[in-house]
Structure 1
Amino acid sequence: MPTPAKPVIVAAAPAPSKPAVAVPPVTPPPPAVIADGSREVELAVRAWARAWSEKNMAQYLAAYDKNFETPGQQSRSAWEQDRRLRIVGKSRISVDLLELQVSAKGNRAVAKFRQDYKADALAILSRKTLELVKTGDRWLIVKESSGG
């Protein structure tokens, strides 16, 4: 007759002497660019360039404040019509922002960058400065200048 198997005894782990203390995760302070609005301005400027590249006129024109200083003292409607003709008429547009630097203080900001613009057979690399103002929760362009 076979011998019966001996029962296996499993010892329980000893109970901890102190309860475990949960350590909250360390949250780093937000970067300074968020505190002064620079990140929001950068996102607004990049959205403007993307809308231009995609020839999305509604988004492109919406990036400009109602008090935008149009070049040559054109009326806003004449400026918008000119922009539509110059943008929609291109078969392709590419607007890349290089070396983007943003400074923001309060509800005003300045974005400086090199703009690599390509459209059809035209290619222009130029310096550009956008002055923006915060209107509600959006950063909008109030002045645009090239060169310098």
Structure 2
Amino acid sequence: MALSRFFAVAAACIVLAASPVLADEVQEINQQYRSGNLSGALTRANAYLAKNPKDAQTRFIKGLILADQGKTNEAIAVFTGLTEDYPELPEPYNNLAVLYASQNKYAAAKNALEMAIRTHPSYATAHENLGDIYAKMASLAYDKALALDSKNAAAQTKLALIQDLIGGQPAKPATSKVIPAASKPIAKPVAAEPAPAAKPTPAKPSPVNAAPASKEVEAAVTRWAQAWSARNVDAYLAAYASDFTAEGLTHAEWEAQRRARITAPASITVKISNLKIEQQGDIAHARFSQTYRSDRHQSTVRKTLKLALQNGQWRIVGETSN
């Protein structure tokens, strides 16, 4: 969510007191991570943990690194392990909530935040984040109500109020960087002063799902292009449905092909423009101009992505270009 790197790592210091030499090593790993050298910091953290597997600080840093790399499930495993070994710390639960929210697993995020509050009742960030989770869950419930009864004026007004309250900015992880997969705000920086309460102005009811879904589809397409540009293969492949196939290949063969093509160039830049989205229920078509540049090749094509809403996330199920 919104813990700063320093605060997040410092929290782990509550658990263990290391010798000066070990403490220096951990601080150097942390500084390497904060400088943006994620790969180097992760390699060093793994080497350190091979000798000190219970070190809470380094495990915490490793979780932050994995989250920044888009390896959400691996980061979840790290923070889950911390909650099991050090259940008295609220920060790992808070970070778990961020990661679960990025996967649209709001019930799991709620449970994690409730555990954070149970271990530390005065943890204000967790209380605020829990309120945001409840707001998001309320939005989904009103959305479902409108899907069943599009003429429900009360649900339309409530949905508009909730959306005005929670806004449309992406969530922030414990490292204060944006987690690409999130579609709604889940936290605010720890140091930020709470905004004064204001009475929302009822918005004019809009067609069912049109505005929020279009924004979420646009966010999914943007994350896909960003992952490709970053050569983050795991995040790129996660943008597709698990049964996606292309060029007559099986899904496994297609994944292997894409992995090779994305990791081979030294650099890749993918830019999209003139994005237009058409949506009907749980299916959407995103049409745009794609400019691809690498140290080996460059091209500009018109592309269409077909996306389907699967388990609360928009996944690519079809892809064509000309």
Q: What is the distance in 2 between the residues matched to 1:49 and 1:95? A: 6
Residue of structure 2 in register with 1:118 after alignment: 293
* Structure with greater helix percent: 2
Q: What is the distance in 2 between the residues matched to 1:39 and 1:31? A: 14
Q: What is the distance in 1 between the residues matched to 2:201 and 2:283? A: 33
Residue of structure 1 in register with 2:230 after alignment: 54
Question: TM-score if structure 2 supplies the norm length?
Answer: 0.36
Q: Retained in 1: the 8 A contact 2:245–2:254?
A: no
Structure 2: runs of 5+ lacking an equivalent: 1-197
Q: What is the distance in 2 between the residues matched to 1:24 and 1:77? A: 52
The yes-or-no answer on 1:39 pairing with 2:215 is yes
**Structure 1 pair 135–91 and aligned structure 2 pair: CA distance change class (3 A):** same
**Structure 1 pair 137–25 and aligned structure 2 pair: CA distance change class (3 A):** closer
**Structure 1 pair 27–66 and aligned structure 2 pair: CA distance change class (3 A):** same
The yes-or-no answer on 1:70 pairing with 2:70 is no
What is the one-letter code of the residue matched to 1:116?
T
Equivalent residue in structure 2 for 1:128, among 303, 311, 316: 303
Deviates more, 1:48-57 or 1:120-129: 120-129
Q: What is the distance in 2 between the residues matched to 1:56 and 1:30? A: 39
**Structure 1 pair 120–134 and aligned structure 2 pair: CA distance change class (3 A):** same
What is the one-letter code of the residue matched to 2:211?
I
* Shift in Å, 1:31: 6.6
* Shift in Å, 1:27: 4.0
* Shift in Å, 1:88: 0.5
Q: CA RMSD for the aligned pairs?
A: 1.8
* Shift in Å, 1:76: 0.9
Percent identity at matched positions?
Answer: 37
* Shift in Å, 1:30: 7.1
Structure 1: runs of 5+ lacking an equivalent: 1-22
What is the one-letter code of the residue matched to 1:142?
V
Deviates more, 1:114-123 or 1:48-57: 114-123
The yes-or-no answer on 1:104 pairing with 2:279 is yes
Equivalent residue in structure 1 for 2:269, among 73, 88, 94: 94
Q: What is the distance in 1 between the residues matched to 2:204 and 2:221? A: 25
**Structure 1 pair 138–24 and aligned structure 2 pair: CA distance change class (3 A):** closer
Q: Retained in 1: the 8 A contact 2:270–2:291?
A: yes
Q: Retained in 1: the 8 A contact 2:226–2:270?
A: yes
**Structure 1 pair 25–70 and aligned structure 2 pair: CA distance change class (3 A):** closer
* Shift in Å, 1:135: 0.2
What is the one-letter code of the residue matched to 2:282?
N
* Shift in Å, 1:24: 4.4
* Shift in Å, 1:66: 1.7
CA deviations on 1:126-148 (whole Å, 9 max, x unpaired) are 0000001000110000010001x
Q: What is the distance in 1 between the residues matched to 2:249 and 2:291? A: 26
Bigger relative CO (Cα 8 Å, ≥ 6 apart): 1
Secondary structure of the structure 1 residue equivalent to 2:306: strand
Secondary structure of the structure 2 residue equivalent to 1:113: strand
